[in-house]
C-alpha cells in the first residue's frame, strides 16, 4: 500500500494535456503520483473537492524592495503576500537600495532569501554599464532567473540606454536577458513638455507609445545582430505586440495584469497617482491589443510588476508621485476573474503563469503538474466571490489599485514543495522558501 507525505483528493487537476478529476500525491517535496488508488495513505490528506488544482502559480515580475525600506515592502512581507495571493514562486527585480549587481550582494540576498522567504524565489541581477564583463558569470549563479536591463530609466538609477553598451551586454553571456524597454533619449526629450501638477494622465503622454515602441525596435535590432535572446517585460503597446511577432525566434514577451485590467483615461480619473506606473497604462486600443496577444499566443508570461511605494508619495502631484503599484497579492484573483469573464481559458492562464515563466527563464522542476516535478500547487475555487480591499493587503505599504474591485475566483490554498503554506487566507508554518533552480 503506497504511502505519501501529502495526498490531494478529489480536485480537478489542471494537467498540461487537460483537466482531469484525479488524486495527486507528493513525497519528499516532489510529485510522486498522478492518479492514486483508494488504498493509498498519507501524512496529510487535503480534500480538494470543488476546487481546481493548478500547478504552482509564478509571478515572474516583482519588486520586493529588499534591501530598502521595510515600511514599504521586504522579502518576508512580500513573499507572505505572494503566498496569500496563491503564488508558489516570485522572481524578484534587482533595483533595490543598494542594487543587486555583483556577487557579494547576490550572495547576501541568496542567504537571506533562504532564511526568510515564504515562497520560492528567482533573482534578477542588474546589468549596468559597470558590470558588463561580469554578466556572463553572474547569469549562471545559483538562483538567478535572468540579467535585467533597464534600457529606459524607471525607479532607481539603473540604466543602460545606449546601443554601444547594450550591444556589449548582449555579447556577454548567452541566457535570455529581461528588458525594461522604453527609449531613454525620447523620455528625456519629452520631459520639458510637461510641468509639475499636470494631470496624472500626462504620464502616458510623456512616456508615450513611441517611447516603448522605439525602445523595443532598438532592442530587437541589437538582439538580431548579436543573436542574444530577449524577454521584453511589460509590453504596453499594440505596435510592439504586432512587431514582436516577427521576432519569435529571439524574443518572448510579458504583459502585466494591470494592462489587461485597466485603461486610460479611466484609470487616471479614478486613481490619480495610484494608477501611475512604467510603462504607463494606456488607452483602450492597447488594452484590446493585449488581450488579442494573450489569445493568439504572442504573450508568454503574465506578471504583476508588484512595485509598492508609500501612500504619501503616491499622493504627490505628477510627476513627483513615483511610478509603480503593488500587485503580488491580487494577480491570481484578477486573472481568475478574467477566466470567469471568458477573456481567457483556465488552461491559457496556467500556460501564462506556470509553463510560460518556466520556459522563458528555464526554471527546473516548476511550471507543470507532472511526476518528478516540484509538488507546487495553487488550489482555487472558481466560484468564490470576494471584494479586493486595502485592509487585507499584507504589503506594509498597505494599498492596492484594485481596492473595491469584486472578483469571482479565489486562491484557497498554496502548496509549495508538498508543504501547505497557505490555506483559507491563513499562512501556515514557518518560511520555507527556496531558490528556484534554472537550467
Interaction of residue 83 with ligand DOR, rule CB under 6 A: no
Interaction of residue 59 with Zn ion, rule CB under 5 A: no
The DSSP code sequence of 186-227 is HHHHHGGG--TT--TTHHHHHT-HHHHHHHHHHHHHHHHHHT
Alpha carbon of residue 408 to chain centroid: 21
Residue nearest to ligand DOR (CB): 324
Interaction of residue 131 with ligand DOR, rule CB under 6 A: no
* Residue indicated by cell numbers 513611441: 210
Candidates 151, 187, 255, 323: give the one binding ligand DOR (CB under 6 A).
323
Instruction: Report, in Å, the least distance between residue 63 CB and ligand DOR.
Output: 4
Q: 281 vs 422, which CB is nearer to ligand DOR?
A: 281
Choosing among ligand DOR, Zn ion, none, which partner's interface includes residue 187 (Cβ < 5 to 8 Å by kind)?
none
Q: 233 vs 344, which CB is nearer to ligand DOR?
A: 233
CA angle 243, 249, 253 (to 5 degrees): 55
CB 9 within 8 A of CB 47: yes
- C-alpha Rg value of the chain to the nearest Å: 21
Per DSSP, 56 falls in state P
Instruction: Report, in Å, the least distance between residue 308 CB and ligand DOR.
Output: 8
Q: 29 vs 94, which CB is nearer to Zn ion?
A: 94
Instruction: Report, in Å, the least distance between residue 65 CB and ligand DOR.
Output: 8
* Residue indicated by cell numbers 549563479: 141
Alpha carbon of residue 270 to chain centroid: 24
Interaction of residue 262 with ligand DOR, rule CB under 6 A: no
CA angle 197, 201, 202 (to 5 degrees): 60
CB 22 within 8 A of CB 34: yes
Q: Does 305 qualify as catalytic in the annotation? A: yes
Interaction of residue 109 with ligand DOR, rule CB under 6 A: no
Report cis status (omega within 30 of 0) of the bond before 126.
no
Alpha carbon of residue 281 to chain centroid: 17
Which residue in the list 23, 305, 337, 351 is annotated as catalytic? 305
Which residues, numbered 174-193, are part of the site for ligand DOR (CB under 6 A)? Answer: 180
Nearest to 151 by CA among 178, 130, 174, 172: 178
Q: 180 vs 338, which CB is nearer to ligand DOR?
A: 180
Interaction of residue 368 with ligand DOR, rule CB under 6 A: no
Interaction of residue 305 with Zn ion, rule CB under 5 A: yes
CB 294 within 8 A of CB 344: yes
Which residues are near Zn ion by CB under 5 A? 305
**Residues belonging to the active site:** 305
Which residues are near ligand DOR by CB under 6 A? 63, 95, 154-155, 180, 277-278, 307, 323-324
Amino acid at each position: 500500500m503506497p504511502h505519501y507525505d501529502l495526498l490531494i483528493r478529489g480536485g480537478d487537476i489542471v494537467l498540461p494535456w487537460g483537466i482531469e478529476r484525479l488524486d495527486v500525491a507528493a513525497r519528499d517535496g516532489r510529485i510522486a503520483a498522478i492518479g492514486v488508488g483508494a488504498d493509498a495513505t498519507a501524512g496529510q490528506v487535503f480534500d480538494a473537492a470543488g476546487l481546481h488544482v493548478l500547478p504552482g502559480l509564478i509571478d515572474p515580475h516583482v519588486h520586493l524592495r529588499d534591501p530598502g525600506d521595510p515600511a514599504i515592502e521586504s522579502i518576508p512581507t512580500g513573499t507572505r503576500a505572494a503566498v496569500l495571493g496563491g503564488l508558489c514562486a516570485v522572481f524578484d527585480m534587482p533595483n533595490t537600495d543598494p542594487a543587486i549587481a555583483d556577487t557579494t550582494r547576490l550572495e547576501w540576498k541568496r542567504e537571506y532569501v533562504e532564511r526568510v522567504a515564504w515562497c520560492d524565489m528567482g533573482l534578477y541581477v542588474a546589468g549596468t554599464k559597470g558590470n558588463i564583463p561580469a554578466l556572463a558569470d553572474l547569469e549562471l549563479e545559483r538562483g538567478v532567473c535572468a540579467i535585467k536591463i533597464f534600457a529606459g530609466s524607471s525607479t532607481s538609477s539603473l540604466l543602460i540606454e545606449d546601443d554601444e553598451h547594450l550591444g556589449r551586454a548582449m555579447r556577454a553571456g548567452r541566457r535570455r536577458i529581461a528588458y525594461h524597454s522604453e527609449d531613454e533619449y525620447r523620455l528625456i526629450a519629452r520631459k520639458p513638455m510637461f510641468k509639475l501638477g499636470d494631470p496624472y494622465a500626462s504620464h502616458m503622454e510623456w512616456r508615450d507609445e513611441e517611447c516603448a515602441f522605439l525602445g523595443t525596435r532598438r532592442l530587437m535590432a541589437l538582439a538580431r545582430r548579436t543573436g542574444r535572446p530577449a524577454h521584453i517585460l511589460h509590453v504596453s503597446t499594440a505596435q510592439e505586440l504586432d512587431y514582436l511577432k516577427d521576432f519569435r525566434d529571439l524574443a518572448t514577451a510579458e504583459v502585466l495584469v494591470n494592462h489587461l485590467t485597466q485603461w486610460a483615461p479611466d484609470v487616471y480619473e479614478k486613481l490619480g497617482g495610484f494608477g501611475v506606473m512604467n510603462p504607463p497604462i494606456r488607452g483602450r486600443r492597447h488594452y484590446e491589443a493585449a488581450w488579442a496577444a494573450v489569445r493568439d499566443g504572442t504573450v508568454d508570461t503574465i506578471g504583476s510588476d508588484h512595485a509598492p511605494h508609500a501612500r504619501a508619495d503616491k499622493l504627490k502631484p505628477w510627476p513627483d508621485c513615483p511610478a509603480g503599484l503593488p500587485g503580488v497579492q491580487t494577480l491570481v484573483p484578477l486573472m481568475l476573474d478574467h477566466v470567469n469573464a471568458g477573456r481567457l481559458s483556465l488552461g491559457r492562464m496556467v500556460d501564462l503563469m506556470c509553463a510560460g515563466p518556466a520556459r522563458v527563464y528555464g526554471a527546473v522542476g516548476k511550471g507543470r503538474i507532472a511526476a518528478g516535478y516540484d509538488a507546487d500547487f495553487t488550489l482555487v475555487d472558481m466560484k468564490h466571490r470576494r471584494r479586493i480591499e486595502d485592509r487585507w493587503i499584507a504589503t506594509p505599504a498597505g494599498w492596492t489599485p484594485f481596492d473595491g474591485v469584486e472578483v469571482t475566483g479565489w486562491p484557497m490554498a498554496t502548496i509549495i514543495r508538498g508543504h501547505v503554506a497557505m490555506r483559507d487566507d491563513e499562512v501556515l508554518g514557518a518560511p520555507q522558501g527556496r531558490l528556484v533552480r534554472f537550467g
